[in-house]
Amino acid sequence: MFSRVRTVLCDLDGVVWLAHQPIAGSVDAIARIRANGRRVLFVTNNSMATIADQEAALQQVGISARGDVVSSSMAAAGLIASGERVLVTGGPGITEAVERQGGTAVLNVGVTTNEPFDAVVVGLHRDFDYFRLTVAATAVRAGARLIGTNGDSTYPTADGLAPGGGAILAAVAAASGATPQIAGKPCRPMATLINEMLSSADESFDPSSVLMVGDRPETDGLFAAELRSAFVLVRSGVMAPNQAVDPAIDVALDLPDLAALASALEEVVR
């Protein structure tokens, strides 16, 4: 079934770890998948951390990931033109991505400013409050584009579900009256980014060579559909063991965790 798969796109939260605590068997599973010659890209909607911090956190649990982390901040920055002034209502990962894109990132600290912005980028951060909401909504009403790194209302932790970046984005959208453009999974900007990363001058993106692994069907499953690639659901994050999946979402494999996927892929190469 997966004999042509050369790249595994792996979600982080709920698949590899919960709040940076490795899920049982996940670290070994990544090593086993790579040992069979497949590349693993960590495709995450978590926009808060910088890429270096994400790589360091993975290295700390025993997973080398240099150059293999793709975040929703990167996808959001792809919607920014060089020279644009961007109000960052989110973590340092967004600031890093915007600046690498050539934009000017201004951190929203909840202080009103009369300076105009071309865009407001909203993502997960733990300092969000009424004052930051006011500044972001005011900038959008003044004409700035509203961009969300992702629409996930929650994300899984070892202690249960916590509010996600989508919850913050919903507040800004409601206060400004604007409809946001969402960059991360399952939306087109993230798919475009993956397409570009897995293409070359000699070879275009091949959906059949890619497998998307995630714990959230409405995000990871729909993202796989956007890529036209297969989706593997693992129930180590937001989905309970017997929780029903929307029948409109195509699930190639429904597995308990990443370790089970590694075993399935090993059967393919035998």
Q: Give the pLDDT confidence of 50-73 residue by residue, as tens digits.
A: 999 999 999 999 999 999 999 999
Residue 249: phi and psi, rounded to 5, are: -95, 125
- Confidence category of residue 77, pLDDT binned at 50, 70, 90: very high
Q: Specify the CATH number of the domain 7-45+186-269.
A: 3.40.50.1000
- Are domains 7-45+186-269 and 74-182 of this chain identical in fold? yes
Q: What is the pLDDT of residues 115-144, one digit of tens each?
A: 899 999 999 999 999 999 999 999 999 999
132 within 8 A of 108, measured Cβ to Cβ: yes
Residues forming beta bridges with residue 214, ordered by sequence position: 233
Question: What is the 8-class DSSP label of residue 207?
Answer: G
Helix (H, G, I), strand (E, B) or coil at 112: coil
Q: What is the pLDDT of residues 198-226, one digit of tens each?
A: 998 888 999 999 999 999 999 999 999 99
258 within 8 A of 236, measured Cβ to Cβ: yes
Mean pLDDT of the chain: 95
The one-letter code for the residue type at 223 is F
CATH topology (fold) of 74-182: Rossmann fold (3.40.50)
Instruction: Report d(CA 194, CA 184) in Å as an integer.
Output: 11
Helix (H, G, I), strand (E, B) or coil at 251: coil
- Confidence category of residue 37, pLDDT binned at 50, 70, 90: very high
Predicted pLDDT at 6: 96
The one-letter code for the residue type at 211 is L
Predicted pLDDT at 270: 53
- Please report, for the chain, the start and end positions of each structural domain, with discontinuous segments joined by +: 7-45+186-269, 74-182
Kindly give the residue spans of alpha helices, DSSP state H, lying in 38-77. 51-60, 72-77
